[in-house]
Amino acid sequence: MKYGYVRVSTAQQHIDRQIDALLELGLDKSSIYIDYESGKDFNRKNYKKLIRKLKKDDLVIIKSIDRLGRDYNMIIDEWRLITKEKEADIMVIDMPLLDTRIEGKNLVGKFISDIVLQVLSFVAQNERETMRVRQAEGIKTAKARGVKFGRPRITLPNNFEIVARQYLNKKITNKKACEILGMTRGSFFRYLKELEIK
């Protein structure tokens, strides 16, 4: 049996390119498993379903190695689980050398496939770590330029402190305080905490 596996990090990302590549190889849509989750680990609902379903000599087809995952050691472990424990095959469309149906036929093919897998898995993890470093550097630089992160502060009504003190002294309810101030309950309590700290 042939199965396809597709992964994107969020529901906003497009899966069309991966799906089209699998359909071109003759896969049926019902045999394609899709996850909208990060590639940082393998704790993904549909991936787990696929692994449970796999039997000896089945074939798992993915578009590229980073669709499987982004952590070097985890990719290697998962590759072994599929090919050694489940005795199924894997084919990576973007890297024809990563096709275990070829590797089983001779020792040289197996050796080349293992080396290519390790190099590509390393690259996938390295890209993830580089992206994390760049993101942290970008945030640090932006903060140094005065860019504010998170929700912007709202301009508090002039009578906020007076109304807040009335609430704290149990003279009015939080519902009444929010009505007077024209604020949501969440905002009222968030700024109330700041007032209590002062």
Active site residues: 9
Which residues does residue 36 pair with via DSSP β-bridges, in sequence order? 8
- Chain centroid offset of residue 133 CA: 17
End-to-end CA gap in the chain: 66
Residue burial 5-24, b: 16+ Cβ < 10 Å; e: rest: bbbbeeeeeebeebbebbee
**Strand ranges (E), the chain:** 2-8, 32-36, 59-62, 89-92
Query: Dihedral, CA atoms, 187, 191, 140, 40, nearest 10 degrees?
Result: -50
Please state at what angle helix 160-168 crosses helix 185-197, rounded to 10 degrees: 80
